[in-house]
């Protein structure tokens, strides 16, 4: 449905929610609030003490409005106009956060709710003081990379969450693509707002060794480059890594105040133990990251820790063994 036609739907649904469903507040979010040109789903945030009653009344609206799915605080309906209607219930206390979160894209919001839903577990079970949110950047379409405008929304959302959550800090980050010419995949005004960046290569693996090396060195020259992610791009038993001059890149990282990652994914374990040992010997610190794409994968950190131990790393060589107040200055060049 074209946006201007969705204006009438928005008015009708909002009036029904307020007058017939006895909700205290109703506000449109999602694609409509972001004024996307074509609307496939219109989403509302509501404050109510009786969400099941709201669902039942909406089902009876206009004779029958089919309910497609329902959970404790979310329901999805099919409207006769041909678009979907999503209703999400929240509390007065969480209203502001929910408005910010609901205004982002659906994929973006699902990622964030998945991660933030695991914060209590990370605090209580693992003793984490902080966690970084590092969605892929916009050029990596196959991994649903986050457009710049959605990353701005995520930044504001995380700032709001950090004001409300005790005991753990959410770090604003991104896995930023290193493009073929060595530039980074987001503009500098956006990169500046992040607590740190993980910069990675996901394309043009076939460049010659000298070209790949220069690509990485140019990327490291950007003041907002912090950590080189899965440095060789290898996938164990599936694909060898691309070639670059390891010694030159390690030395350039040391000179520029850049760092490396041990990616804990069992498919990667990149850096290798050998390269991690070389980096640490040169005085370049290393982050051990989970590369978790869901809360179920947080436990994979053990694989990265094993790799760090094989490399002989001590705590002093591992970035995320540091408390945030000590770590933060390392990311400001």
Per-residue pLDDT tens for 211-231?
999 999 999 999 999 999 999
Mind listing the domains of the chain with CATH numbers? 3-95 (3.30.460.10), 105-331 (3.20.20.140)
Lowest-confidence range among 56-65, 98-107, 275-284? 98-107
Lowest-confidence range among 6-20, 38-52, 112-126, 287-301? 112-126
Q: Taking the model in full, what pTM does it have?
A: 0.71
Report the pLDDT value the prediction gives residue 322, as an integer from 0 to 100: 97
Report the pLDDT value the prediction gives residue 101, as an integer from 0 to 100: 73
Per-residue confidence band for 105, with pLDDT thresholds at 50, 70 and 90:
low
Helix (H, G, I), strand (E, B) or coil at 132: strand
Report the pLDDT value the prediction gives residue 167, as an integer from 0 to 100: 80
Q: Is residue 27's pLDDT more than 60?
A: yes
- Residue of higher predicted confidence among 9 and 167: 9
Per-residue confidence band for 300, with pLDDT thresholds at 50, 70 and 90:
very high
Percent of the chain exceeding pLDDT 90 equals 72
**Quick one: tokens of 176?**
């930023």
Report the pLDDT value the prediction gives residue 325, as an integer from 0 to 100: 96
Residue linked to tokens 């209590």 = 120
Q: Residue 185 gets which letter from DSSP?
A: S
Across 134-245, where does the E strand assignment appear? 169-172, 175-177, 198-200, 227-228
Q: Is residue 268's pLDDT more than 70?
A: yes
For residues 41 and 60, give the distance between their C-alpha atoms in angstroms, rounded to a whole number. 19
**Quick one: tokens of 70?**
């329902």
- Average pLDDT value for the chain: 91
Report the pLDDT value the prediction gives residue 161, as an integer from 0 to 100: 81
Per-residue confidence band for 297, with pLDDT thresholds at 50, 70 and 90:
confident
Report the pLDDT value the prediction gives residue 323, as an integer from 0 to 100: 96
Q: Is residue 259's pLDDT more than 70?
A: yes
Strand 259-263 and strand 227-228: the pairing is parallel
Q: Is residue 137's pLDDT more than 80?
A: yes
**173-185 exposure pattern, b = at least 16 Cβ within 10 A, e = fewer:** bbbbbbbeebebb
Q: Helices 95-103 and 106-116 sit at what angle, rounded to 10 degrees?
A: 140
Report the pLDDT value the prediction gives residue 113, as an integer from 0 to 100: 56
User: What contacts 330, CB < 8 A, 6 or more positions away?
Assistant: 226, 257, 259, 285, 319, 322
């Amino acid at each position: 449905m074209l946006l201007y036609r969705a204006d009438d739907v928005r008015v009708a649904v909002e009036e029904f929610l307020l007058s017939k469903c006895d909700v205290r507040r109703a506000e449109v979010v999602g694609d409509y609030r972001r004024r996307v040109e074509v609307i496939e789903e219109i989403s509302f945030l509501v404050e109510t003490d009786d969400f099941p009653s709201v669902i039942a009344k909406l089902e009876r609206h206009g004779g029958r409005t089919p309910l497609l799915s329902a959970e404790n605080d979310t329901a999805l309906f099919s409207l006769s106009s041909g678009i979907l209607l999503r209703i999400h219930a929240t509390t007065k206390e969480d209203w502001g956060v929910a408005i910010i979160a609901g205004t982002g894209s659906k994929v973006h919001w699902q990622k964030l709710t998945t991660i933030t839903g695991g914060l209590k577990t990370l605090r209580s079970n693992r003793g984490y003081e902080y966690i970084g949110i590092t969605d892929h950047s916009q050029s990596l379409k196959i991994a649903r990379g986050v457009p710049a405008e959605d990353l701005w929304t995520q930044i504001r959302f995380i700032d709001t969450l950090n004001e409300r959550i005790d005991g753990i800090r959410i770090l604003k980050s991104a896995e930023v693509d290193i493009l073929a010419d060595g530039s980074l995949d987001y503009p500098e005004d956006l990169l500046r707002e992040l607590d740190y960046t993980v910069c990675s290569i996901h394309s043009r693996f076939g460049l010659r060794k000298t070209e790949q090396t220069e690509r990485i060195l140019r990327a490291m020259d950007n003041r907002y480059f912090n950590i080189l992610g899965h440095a060789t791009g290898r996938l164990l038993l599936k694909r060898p890594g691309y070639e670059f001059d390891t010694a030159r890149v390690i030395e350039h990282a040391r000179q520029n105040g850049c760092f490396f990652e041990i990616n804990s994914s069992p498919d990667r374990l990149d850096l290798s133990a050998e390269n991690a040992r070389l980096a640490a010997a040169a005085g370049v610190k290393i982050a051990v990251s989970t590369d978790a794409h869901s809360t179920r994968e947080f436990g994979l950190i053990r694989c990265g820790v094993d790799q760090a131990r094989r490399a002989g790393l001590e705590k002093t060589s591992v970035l995320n063994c540091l408390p945030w107040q000590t770590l933060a200055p390392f990311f400001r060049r």
